[in-house]
Structure formats: C-alpha cells, structure tokens
Amino acid sequence: MIAIGRLSPEKGFTLLLDAFARARTQIKAQYQLLIVGEGSDRNVLCDRIAALGLTNVARLGGYVDGADRLLERAAGFVMSSVTEGMPLVLLEAMQWRAPILATSVGAIPELLDYGARGRLVPPNNLAALTHAMQTMMEEGLHSNDASVAAAATAVSERYTSARMADDYFSVYGAIA
C-alpha cells in the first residue's frame, strides 16, 4: 500500500500508521506501507513506526520525483488527510488504476463519486480507517475491479487538460 503527500499533521499519516498496524495484525497480511514525501513530521512518523513495531513493513520513502509512477504496482492507495482541496495525487491514483481508500474531506467525495470509485471513510476515525484497510487487504482488489475502472474512466473523461481547455473555451464563448 502507498500514501503520497507532505509529511505534515493535516495528512493524517500518524493515524494511517496506527490503522495499518491494526489492520495488518487482524488479518495477518503480508502487506507493506510506503509513505512518500518530505515534511516537518518526518521524525514523528519515524518514531511512530518504531513504536508500532513496523520497521520492517512501513517505510518513509522521502521525496521521489514522479512518485505517481509508484502507483502502477501499488496494492492500494491510501489518503488519510484531515483536510484537502482537490488533491492531484488522488487523480493520479485514479489514472494509474490503484484501488483507493480516502477520507471524505474537500473534493474527495465528489472525485470518488461518493464511494463508487473508491472507499471513503470519515477523517480522524481510526476504527473506520482500520476496517477499510483490513477489507482492502482481505479482498485484494485488482485493477479490473469495477470501482477502479470507474475511477480511471472518470479521470480520462473529466480531468484531462483537453477537457479543461474545452470547458474554458465554452465559458469564453458564452461570455463573448
């Protein structure tokens, strides 16, 4: 499983580590967690990984140029944010056909069509995040899953630069 973002409190990575530890223990899964990014919470997260006994299965990957390409082979993408706008990394996960688990903040519910394109959980809810991670691990979602396919289709139809240009031309045409 992979998470990508700035290592800061609003990304909810401490909660993600707690949920990952619990989900992994409950199903005895062999999943690993990679958190890609840099930020002020790096030491806090390193300490949390050690405290949870996850040093062999959870890693902080640091900054990775083109990190979205890691999503191609990911068993799942997790966005545990407490607050978000319209996260580009979520669109990238949709494009790369990664199974998605995200908190229902900002534009995320709309992007995931209120759960049709990925799993949604409330923010700051350890039990819900743990249960959803456990379910993802147990089911072992693959790129042919209906929600993953729906997410990829939505990105290719609605969130491309060509679509954005067409929308701008329509607005400009209506103004002119």
- What is the CB neighbour count within 10 angstroms for residue 5? 22
Which regions of 38-99 does DSSP assign to beta strands (E)? 58-62, 77-79
pLDDT the model gives residue 21: 96
Q: Which amino acid is at 97?
A: R
pLDDT the model gives residue 140: 72
Q: Is the distance from CB of 35 to CB of 13 less than 8 angstroms?
A: yes
Q: Could you tell me how far CA 144 lies from the centroid of its own chain? A: 18
Distances (CA, A) of 149 to 93, 133, 152: 12, 19, 5
- What is the CB neighbour count within 10 angstroms for residue 94? 26
Q: Which amino acid is at 99?
A: P
- What is the CB neighbour count within 10 angstroms for residue 152? 18
CA–CA dist 171, 176 (Å, integer): 9
pLDDT by 10s per residue, the chain, length 176:
999 999 999 999 999 999 999 999 888 768 999 999 999 999 999 999 999 999 999 999 999 999 999 999 899 999 999 999 999 999 999 999 999 999 999 999 999 999 999 999 999 999 999 999 999 988 875 545 888 889 988 988 888 778 878 888 888 889 98
pLDDT the model gives residue 29: 66
pLDDT the model gives residue 144: 53
